[in-house]
Amino acid sequence: MIIAVASGKGGTGKTLVATSLALSLINRKAVQLLDCDVEEPNAHILLRPLFTHKQAVTIPIPRVDEARCTYCGKCAEVCIYNAIAVVGEKVLIFPELCHGCGACQYLCPEDAISEEGREIGVLEFGRVGGLEFVHGKLNIGEAMAPPVIRQVKKHINQDGLVIIDVPPGTSCPVVETVKGSDFCLLVTEPTSFGLNDLTLAVEMVSRLDIPCGVVINRDGVGDKGVEEYCLKEGVPIMLQIPLDIRIAQLYSRGITLVEGMPEWQESFVRLFDNIKQALRKGQRGGGK
């Protein structure tokens, strides 16, 4: 089973939920946690894994053999990302714009284009007791997170429970991370901002046809708008975590909720059982 833990906005406590859920279940089954928030991964700060090895992430970029090139401009014509320009008898490559799609090489009439790898990030692998951990890190200055996310997801263990810490928002990196999941937990807060972004996240998982449920973090800080929305749309509220200064203090010290307050383990085990029950009932994303 693959459970994605997402949020329509940043700062809702998504990583708090993902790490606590993973740690609460490691005595019941094989658990793997993937941190796909590759632009700013932080699950490792809470989990403190022992890293064992790294793996570079590269994308293929074109290399032009000017001895064979006729400067016809076909490569620049087919590149929708404007990563190639032909100026007179000179081919200019802009690696930072290249998405590695391979169209220029495939359609070059002179077979003058080959590909070489350009490193854009790194994967790191580790363990925390019985928990397997993988995260990706996008290199500073790089603009494309999805290639790194895809490489992280290639290491999904299909034989166990996989929990994925998703990037915030509803943009391309989020869609790339969430797709293929069995269930999506949407972590929100009971504020107008939280409700606005939750509606976007519910629409996203609904379009992906992924079952979803909501975790309300910092419950008590705002109003009942999120609860009313979930009731109206038929989206189950699966866990409510109260506004508690002790939780904030733990988080600020890099301590997971279930490590600092072990009484919460039972709540996260019940959360997992409720997810399984929702899947058995065929609860789809968006509820109705």
Write the pLDDT tens digit of every residue in 14-42. 999 999 999 999 988 899 999 999 999 99
**pLDDT score for 283:** 53
pLDDT, one tens digit per residue, over 199-244 is 999 999 999 999 999 999 999 888 999 999 999 999 999 999 999 9
pLDDT, one tens digit per residue, over 42-81 is 999 999 999 999 999 999 999 999 999 999 999 999 999 9
What gap in Å lies between CA 34 and CA 173, rounded to an integer? Answer: 14
pLDDT, one tens digit per residue, over 243-253 is 999 999 999 99
**pLDDT score for 126:** 97
Map out the domains of the chain with their CATH numbers.
2-57+120-281 (3.40.50.300), 60-119 (3.30.70.20)
**pLDDT score for 288:** 38
**pLDDT score for 286:** 45
pLDDT, one tens digit per residue, over 85-143 is 999 999 999 999 999 999 999 999 999 999 999 999 999 999 999 999 999 999 999 98
| Cβ–Cβ < 8 Å for 2, 164 | yes
**pLDDT score for 285:** 45
**Strand ranges (E), the chain:** 2-6, 31-35, 50-64, 84-87, 90-93, 113-128, 131-138, 161-165, 183-188, 212-219, 237-242
Complete DSSP assignment for 124-150: EEEEETTEEEEEEEEPTT----HHHHH
